[in-house]
Amino acid sequence: MVSSYFLYPLSDEGEQIVRQQGSLENLFLEDKDLMDLVIHTKSQNISNDSYIPKSLAEYTLKRVEWYVRKKYDKEYEHNDYAFLLNPELEIYDVISFYIAAQSIGINFNPNSRESRVFIESQGQLIQERLETLSKTLREETIAKLLNQLIAADNLHWTSLAELLGSKKINLSHLIIDKGQIILDKKDFLDRFEHKIEDRIPEKMYDILIGDKIKELIVNRMIMQNTENYISKVHEMVSNVEAHPSLIQIGAKISKTLTENYSYSSNQGGDIKASKFQVEAFPPCIQNTMDGVSAGNRNDAIVLLMTSFLSYARLYPSVFKNKADLKISDLDKGLKITTTEILPLIYEAAQNCNPPLFEDDPQEKLNITAKLGFGVHETPELDKEGESKWYTPMSCEKIKIHLPVLCQPDENCKKIGNPLSYYNLKKWLMKQSMTNQQTENTKKSEGN
């Protein structure tokens, strides 16, 4: 049986291990036992020294690096991180979980990319560790964890309110009868067997619930508890002095993410994020910049401009990479957002007839919401995630909802979204400049 704390470090056993063995004094010291266990993990790649964590601090960073590389790096190799699935490392693993969670809680807000990536990585680790178990062992482990996570035998759907609220679980995943979430096979058969016709009730249970729903609940509850733990640490940090090692680890986690996010945000050839090139804006955006009259004004600024400008400046490759990022993943302190993006949106709003905020100041809050920071006057990091960062409208939608702004030119024939137009036009402008330079060089060589 795999220890439950290898999957759920916040369990009572996990907490006890950390209390007894989780000293922060030797965090950066080389640990021969740790290295030995990593090196002797089945399939572990040891061809390069950098694959082997040499201290608990390095192990902690590897946990985060693994997840980001797995998600975004096309050259990711599982065997570079095989040790993360080795239960012989469970003590190191549980301690590293607390080190990472506390470092993140101390250094970053609960909505930060650091928190988000760590919580997601824990969910992914649970899933992959479960996949290494035999069917029977996997069922036993899930049953044990479910017991620890849910106190009552009968699970009322409201007890998952937190998971439903944070969208970690969708109501459509669950079978609910009279308010109770049905997980047990016997319970399912007692309630529904007589109603099922032309199908085998046991098979219906396996299809609708089976092990997968129990695993989903366990996984998401552990993720939720991890999130709550980080929030608790974050709240406490103003009252207690943080250990310098945890501050140091927090900075290293952030650096690890920044380095590895380059796999997602900088791949895309000519569609790297760069300063605005207003000359490359498509006609619909140029028209909006010039000012829109009442009727189209609100949608043009709040829906079209806000999403276009924020993605054009920070994440022009969104449709190519498809990675789900937040603004702070790309603009950590929101400097670009507040000094480059918002001023341009507000300028377009001012150019409207009548100026948008003069008779509709509420729309400033809606702009903040469309950037992913909830309904507030300005974007603030601790509010990020309260709403969704809207991706740019497609040409099709603009033609339906804001037809007056769409005055297509030649380049519009090749694209389906104003952002794709912007990327294409930037590339064409760059090509034309390169051709011009080559031409000039030839001419000067001829003289």
Report if residue 355 touches ligand SF4, rule: CB under 6 A: no
Element (H, E) at 156: strand 155-156
The single-letter DSSP state of residue 270 is: T
Phi, psi of 155 (to 5 degrees): -100, 110
| Residue 268 binding ligand SF4, by CB under 6 A | no
172 CB-side CA count, 13 A: 1
Asked if 228 and 105 count as a contact pair (C-beta separation under 8 A), the reply is no
- At position 117, the amino acid (one-letter code) is V
**Would you give the binding string for ligand SF4 spanning residues 404-443, x where CB under 6 A is met?**
--xxx---x-----x--x----------------------
Identify which range of 37-45, 257-265, 338-346, 403-411 contacts ligand SF4 by CB under 6 A: 403-411
Which is nearest to 60 in space by CA: 18, 82, 28? 28
Q: How far is the CB of 278 from ligand SF4 (least distance, A)?
A: 15
Taking CB under 6 A as the binding criterion, the range among 139-147, 170-178, 290-298, 400-408 that sits at the site for ligand SF4 is 400-408
Whether residue 175 contacts residue 188, with contact meaning beta carbons closer than 8 Å, is answered with yes
Smallest distance, ligand SF4 to C-beta of residue 294, A: 21
- Which one, 5 or 421, has the nearer CB to ligand SF4? 421
User: Is residue 392 within the footprint of ligand SF4 (CB under 6 A)?
Assistant: no
Residue among 7, 1, 49, 53 nearest 30 (CA): 53
Nearer to ligand SF4, 266 or 407 (CB): 407
What minimum distance in Å lies between the beta carbon of 418 and ligand SF4?
4
**395 forms part of the interface with ligand SF4 (CB under 6 A):** yes
What's at 146, amino acid-wise? L
What is the closest distance, in whole angstroms, from the C-beta atom of residue 423 to ligand SF4 in the complex? 11
Q: Does 282 bind ligand SF4 (CB under 6 A)?
A: yes
- The CA distance from 37 to 50, in Å, is 15
Range in contact with ligand SF4 (rule: CB under 6 A) among 128-136, 242-250, 282-290, 316-324 = 282-290
CB of 363 to ligand SF4, least distance (A): 21
CB nearer to ligand SF4: give 10 or 415: 415
Out of 181, 312, 398, 424, the only residue in the binding site for ligand SF4 (CB under 6 A) is 398
Q: Report whether 116 contacts 263 (CB < 8 A).
A: no
Question: How many residues belong to the site for ligand SF4 (CB under 6 A)?
Answer: 11
**What is the spatial distance between Cα 199 and Cα 193, in angstroms, rounded to a whole number?**
10
CB of 179 to ligand SF4, least distance (A): 48
Give the whole-angstrom CA distance, residue 127 versus residue 274.
Answer: 37
Structure tokens at 390: 């809207």
Residue 283 contacts ligand SF4 per CB under 6 A: yes
Minimum separation from the CB atom of position 40 to ligand SF4 (A): 57
157 phi, psi to nearest 5 deg: -60, -25
- Rounded to a whole number of angstroms, the minimum distance from the CB of residue 413 to ligand SF4 is 8
**Which of 447, 441, 409, 442 shows the shortest CA–CA distance to 428?**
409
Q: What are phi and psi of 152, to 5 degrees?
A: -85, 155
Q: Which residues bind ligand SF4 (CB under 6 A)?
A: 282-284, 395, 398, 406-408, 412, 418, 421
